[in-house]
Amino acid sequence: MLVMNENRGSKIQYILSSGAKLGIAQTVLLLLLYLTGTMFKSGLSAISWLIYAAVIYYTLKIYRDRFMDGYVTYWKGVGFGTRISMWSGVIVGFFYFLMIKVFDPSMADSMIAEAEEAYLAMGLSETYVESMQDAIQRAANPWVLFFSSILNGLLYGFIVSLIVSIFTKRKGDPFQEAMKDVS
């Protein structure tokens, strides 16, 4: 029983550390975009999808080989990727929170201005965009950004994990799996 608890603790620790790796990678990307002034004006933020895919793939393979005896089902892979993405969302949300509350309070104004420009570029009228002003300002609130980063992490991680798990799944011998439960 003690070995089983140690293994469970190691799995949880690995999931948390994998989420931290993903969160730090996402935060470094955001920091680079912020420092170059392209955080809200660039398609470079799409690189985050590649970061999700690379980190989930790499950490899931290690998880499969180290903790799952070289076998992982499709849905366990999806669950793993989604969990680590949620933890990365916490780190990214903390980054946004610190940026707006401590380091650069004007960042919220930049987000609002960029959102308004995007709505106008989509063809919405100025009066309609002005009527949305309260909702746009609420979305730039540090707490809203914190929690929406967690939800985005869950959503992005789930989507990426659906794809990555196709390539990392490995089924074991069903007889051996059943016998493992018996002994």
Parent domain of 45: 2-182
- Tens-digit pLDDT string for the chain (183 aa): 444 556 777 888 999 999 999 999 999 998 988 888 777 666 776 788 999 999 999 999 999 888 888 888 899 999 999 999 999 999 999 998 998 888 888 888 877 777 777 777 787 778 877 787 788 788 888 898 899 999 999 999 999 999 999 988 877 666 666 666 665
pLDDT value for 4: 52
Q: How many domains is the chain partitioned into structurally? A: 1
In this predicted structure, what is the pLDDT of residue 42?
Answer: 63
- Please write down the HEC assignment for all residues of 4-58: HHHHHHHHHHHHHHHHHHHHHHHHHHHHHHHHCCCCCCCHHHHHHHHHHHHHHHH
